[in-house]
Chain A
Amino acid sequence: MITRRRMLLGTTGVAGALVVGYALWPDDRLARADGLAAQPGERFLATWIKIAGDGLVTVMIPHCEMGTGTSTALAQMAAEELDADWSRVRAQIAPADALFANGALAEGFLFESKNLTLSSIPAFLRGTAADATGAIARYMDLQTTGGSPAVRMTGVYGIRISAAAARELLVRAAAARVGASRGSFHTAMSRVIHTSGQSFGFGELAAEAANHRPSAHPPLKARNAYTLVGASLARFDIPAKVNGATIYGIDVSPPDLCYAAIRIAPATGGKLRSVDEASAAQMRGVRRIVRLDDAVVVVADRFWRAQKALDALRPTFDAGKKAAVFSAALRARQVSALGGKESTTTDLTVGRGVDALGSHVIERLYHVPYLAHAAMEPVNATALFRPPRGLEVWGGSQDALAARAFCAEVAGMPMSQVIFHQLPSGGAFGRRLPGSWNFFEYAVRAAMAVPGTPVKLIFTREEDIQHDYYRPAVTSRFRGSLSTDGRPRVWVNDYTTVDSADTEAHIIYGVPHQAYRAVKIASPVPTGSWRSIESSWHGFFVESFVDELAHEARRDPLEYRRALLAHKPRHLAALNLAADKAGWAAPLDAGVGRGIALVECFGTIVAQVAEVEVAKLGSVRVRRITCAADCGAVVNPDGFRAQVEGGIIFGLSAALYGAITLEHGAVVQRNFPDYPVIRLADCPDIDVHIIESDGTMGGAGEVGVPPVAPAVVNAIFAATGVRLRELPVVNAEIARG
């Protein structure tokens, strides 16, 4: 670790270039995170700024590019602190190597949490280690892109500081040349300029600057001096996405590439029983039929031929131990578990909690189904197994370094013998995070069956939907009682969980007595992180129930929430702005209603108003979503807006149509016709209003998702008086009288 740190600090890159890595170990944060103090040597991060002899600035990005504009936003933050000429700044995806690992991510989370415990670590990271100590060691090696970390963690705690340190070195080099004090220089447009007017380009100074150690505490710009951060600069990755030039994982083409098609046992835990090998083995282009425990793979010289041979194999599978699993029964089990005392965790009590419930209790039950990610690029990976030299893997991963380690483990070789090529992903939404890597595993296994030949394994859409790591199905029960003035006095929430208690259940509203209880029920199918994670269900539950309480109290849902947010000025401001922009009070035609919802997610406070039209026979059309989002500071407003728009549409697909159901332990849905998503024709008008505040920087990619479902359901109630407590909307009967 010490050696690595030295490498980071002292490196001169290729001739004439300045390379700055930044060791992040400010003492105040060390003190806050005791757990880390034991291993100070691991607290480095390697977000790198490179400046070439010709002045070109390259920012190394330790995240994947999956459509969120991360590279551009991080480069903006670097260029800002450097005072670089934006037209001479580039971004480059960092190699899957510990040198470029994203320590800032862990740092950021630790910084936010007062005490370092496993539960203070966001759920999407929890599964990566068994205990807190192990977890920290692992986090130092993360290159995760999940939980909206890129800008607010890597950027704020890492890249910005690296860039400021690099700027300091450049000034120092210029000062040495001229023999003047550093204070007599300023920087602008990639030049270091002396008060006399004499100036040097960054490129001229790079080599000299690289002879010195960067400071760990460089002065940072004040926010009001920003010119690049806060500007809607065009994204770097977009031009190559309008002419088909971007090479995604599914497009890689190493020499002598073969293709693999896979059929996995439909029921989780099912085993491959039989294949008709004779009929497939002779088909054109077929190279190898690979029988795995729970799947069969055909490797052929073309993907189409692999698919045809796979069909000809007519594989059969047994149903495994989950054959008795049906969605409806699962839901019933969740409901009854909420009433029992088994496997529960009381995760928070406020005031007198459940004991404060009076005699008039308002009780409601809500449920959401499993959901698939269904990113546009079906999961796939390409692998080349060349013993004894090693393994090479190409693919899109939300954590390149961990993917490399994972593939090494599958192949049974040390990580040092594995090369992982990180490629852009055609969407991910959590599907490509650690713990969800069946596509890497199967690709490596297929490659191991044909050593020396690169194999691209592609899931068909059917395999992609049927073998996902799903957003869990969750049931939540609320009990509440009101004060005489109509405000909630007691808020009691019991909900199911597949692993641990969710802080996302906790309300921001001022209610004197609260109690939360998590009831653990294992999932019969694998679950994973799905855009906005726990907020995707708790947002729906909480914002539905508060709306129901408003109705019970005979109050306007907006007014009701306002009265409960006196202590939360930022939340109140977001709520008010969304309501104003939506014209909350403006009259509506019969059958049209507005609903409102407010959810804080990954540090961003988002309020949305849905305007929904319900036809006589009950068909629902969402006409408009008005959104106000307070993310503290925003790096690229247009990019932020795009992410929130996308989140709203993603959340709306789920709210209106999304459901993965299980029969005999297998997923029923297969492709877009039975797992529908929003298209142009049913996409509402969307207005996103950004609130900049002095809050810490919040996330962007996930935050648009959670409020959509409750806003829509609340609007349906306003339009019809019908309250939906289960998603998706399409399954409900909503004829209006």
Chain B
Amino acid sequence: MGINLNVNGTSHELDIEDDVPLLWVLRDELKLTGTKFGCGIGSCGACTVHLNGAAVRSCQIPVSAVSGQPITTIEGLGAGTLTALQRAWIEHQVPQCGYCQSGMIMAVSALLARNPAPTEEDLAAAVTNICRCGTYPRIRAAVSALGKPAGDAA
């Protein structure tokens, strides 16, 4: 029997095994390659997507466990336009190689949705993703700018 997957507002009927990690379904079946493979064991966060609005590591989720539930990937994040978070990422020139950034952005956006002005400690506790290029200082700067009310120059 097929699996129904609801990704970025579109539903898909897929003939795949129950135990395939969501990551590989997104990448190889749906060709949504913005979600990345980094470690395959839930350690690096490159594969982070939103499940019911929360950040999850898609390499650790068997596809059958999320059948029918709303999933958002980086491709579906802004519904066609860039979110304030993505604009801040450009403003602060965050990405280097960029490979981790889909996962980073999904992890940070889930945090900001529940905590719009996180402290550095909040950020570090919620976002444990790895960036090998070392963009952390810029991630901090971009998040802290987002946490400030518009027009606040300080």
Residues of A within 8 A of B140 (CB): 680
Is A6's CB within 8 Å of the partner chain B? no
Min Cβ gap B70→A in Å is 18
Q: Contact: B37 with A234, CB < 8 Å?
A: no
Task: Give Cα distance in the complex from A679 to B38, angstroms.
Answer: 14
Q: Contact: A238 with B134, CB < 8 Å?
A: no
Residues of B102-135 whose CB lies within 8 A of A: 102, 105, 123-125, 127-135
Is B28's CB within 8 Å of the partner chain A? yes
Q: Contact: B97 with A284, CB < 8 Å?
A: no
Q: Contact: A376 with B46, CB < 8 Å?
A: yes
Is A226's CB within 8 Å of the partner chain B? no
Is A68's CB within 8 Å of the partner chain B? yes
Which of A134-142, A206-214, A424-432, A481-489 is the interface stretch?
A424-432
Residues of B within 8 A of A374 (CB): 132
Which of A87-95, A240-248, A504-512, A718-726 is the interface stretch?
A240-248
Residues of A within 8 A of B34 (CB): 243-245
Task: Give Cα distance in the complex from A66 to B95, angstroms.
Answer: 11
Which of B50-58, B85-93, B144-152 is the interface stretch?
B85-93
Task: Give Cα distance in the complex from A234 to B94, angstroms.
Answer: 11
| Contact A648 B28, CB 8 Å, known A235-B93, A237-B98 | no
Closest to A649 in B: B134
Q: Contact: B33 with A242, CB < 8 Å?
A: no
Q: Contact: A304 with B24, CB < 8 Å?
A: yes
| Contact A244 B74, CB 8 Å, known A375-B132, A376-B44, A679-B129 | yes
Task: Give Cα distance in the complex from A425 to B100, angstroms.
Answer: 12
Give 17 pairs: A residue, B residue, CB < 8 Å, sorted on A: A238-B93, A241-B101, A242-B98, A244-B34, A304-B20, A375-B99, A376-B97, A425-B97, A426-B99, A427-B133, A460-B40, A639-B93, A646-B135, A672-B44, A673-B41, A678-B136, A680-B139
Min Cβ gap B91→A in Å is 9
Task: Give Cα distance in the complex from A458 to B36, angstroms.
Answer: 12
Of all A-B residue pairs in the complex, the 5 with the closest CB atoms, nearest first, are A244-B34, A426-B99, A649-B134, A67-B97, A241-B98
Q: Which residues on A are within 8 Å of B, measured CB to CB?
A: 66-69, 234-235, 237-248, 250-251, 253, 259, 284, 302-304, 374-378, 424-429, 458, 460-461, 638-639, 642-643, 645-650, 671-673, 677-681, 683, 685-686
Q: Contact: A671 with B134, CB < 8 Å?
A: no
User: When A and B form their complex, what is the total count of cross-chain residue pairs whose Cβ atoms lie within 8 Å?
Assistant: 173
Known: A69-B96, A237-B98, A680-B136. 13 other contacts (CB 8 A): A66-B97, A243-B82, A376-B36, A376-B99, A425-B97, A427-B133, A642-B93, A646-B133, A650-B132, A671-B41, A679-B136, A680-B124, A685-B137
Residues of B67-90 whose CB lies within 8 A of A: 73-75, 77-78, 82, 86, 89-90
Is B11's CB within 8 Å of the partner chain A? no
Interface centre among A237, A243, A685 (most CB of B within 10 A): A243
Residues of B within 8 A of A69 (CB): 96
| Contact A424 B128, CB 8 Å, known A244-B75, A461-B40, A646-B135 | no
Task: Give Cα distance in the complex from A351 to B37, angstroms.
Answer: 55
Q: Which residues on B are within 8 Å of A, measured CB to CB?
A: 17, 20-21, 24, 27-29, 31-41, 43-44, 46, 73-75, 77-78, 82, 86, 89-90, 93-102, 105, 123-125, 127-140
- The dominant DSSP class at the B interface is loop
Residues of A within 8 A of B131 (CB): 376
- The dominant DSSP class at the A interface is loop
Interface centre among B31, B133, B139 (most CB of A within 10 A): B133
Residues of B within 8 A of A685 (CB): 137
Task: Give Cα distance in the complex from A686 to B135, angstroms.
Answer: 11
Q: Contact: A251 with B33, CB < 8 Å?
A: yes
Residues of B within 8 A of A234 (CB): 90, 93
Min Cβ gap A66→B in Å is 6
Q: Contact: B98 with A304, CB < 8 Å?
A: no
| Contact A378 B37, CB 8 Å, known A67-B133, A302-B24 | yes
Task: Give Cα distance in the complex from A284 to B15, angstroms.
Answer: 12
Q: Contact: A248 with B99, CB < 8 Å?
A: yes
